[in-house]
Amino acid sequence: MLIEARRSLLLLVDLQTKLYAAMAPPSANFLARVALLTRAAVQLDIPIVVTRQYPQGLGPLVPELAAALPDSLRPLDKMTFSCCADEAIAHALDTERDQVLVAGIETHVCVLQTAFDLRARDRQVYVLADACASRSRADHDEALVRMSREGVRQASVESAIFEWLRAATHPRFRDLARDIRDLPRTG
């Protein structure tokens, strides 16, 4: 099933400075992909929900993400692992948009629990595997396998953006295609 811009909501989970510093080294362009994904959602009028886990201890959003967000968008703080277990975040996610694209950290904790809870709420969940990370690569990989077995779809940042655009005739195609092309390539 293709991802559709009019049905999409982007959920950015706990992309915070101290958490990110503890991650197994994701690819060199991890933060650039997260920022590109965020800018694309803003340009395409796709709603964004941003969460922070215990910000007093885990820090603010990574600067690359903070810079890509509209000034009016405020992160929602939580102490629960699943975003759906927090009342304010669950309310923010309760929209007509039934496709939820999830990026964030850690893949095997907050991303996984959130994805499963969203599936339980009959949402189509797409975890953007190249925009998620864990402290260990094994935990990240196992979480992706487990989610896939339970009906959570996987996609990449690039494929999600091109599915949102649908055609080279889209008014935002040139700018976003250039930004994608300019991302450093990694194995």
Taking alpha carbons only, the member of 23, 98, 19, 7 closest to residue 51 is 19
Cα 83 to Cα 13, 105, 160, distances in angstroms: 8, 12, 21
User: What is the domain range of residue 108?
Assistant: 5-181
Arithmetic mean of pLDDT over the chain: 95
Q: How far apart are CA 54 and CA 38, in angstroms?
A: 22
Please say if the pLDDT value at position 43 is more than 90: yes
pTM greater than the 0.75 cutoff = yes
Domain annotation covers residue 186: no
pLDDT for 26 equals 66
Q: Is residue 57 part of a domain?
A: yes
The model's pLDDT over 48-105, given as tens digits with 9 standing for 90+, comes to 999 999 999 999 999 999 999 999 999 999 999 999 999 999 999 999 999 999 999 9
**How would you class 84 by CB atoms within 10 Å of its CB: exposed for 0-12, middle for 13-18, buried for 19 or more?**
buried
Count how many domains the chain has.
1
CATH number at residue 65: 3.40.50.850
Helix (H, G, I), strand (E, B) or coil at 71: coil
Tell me how many degrees the CA angle 103-100-97 measures, rounded to the nearest 5: 150
Q: Establish if 187 belongs to a structural domain.
A: no
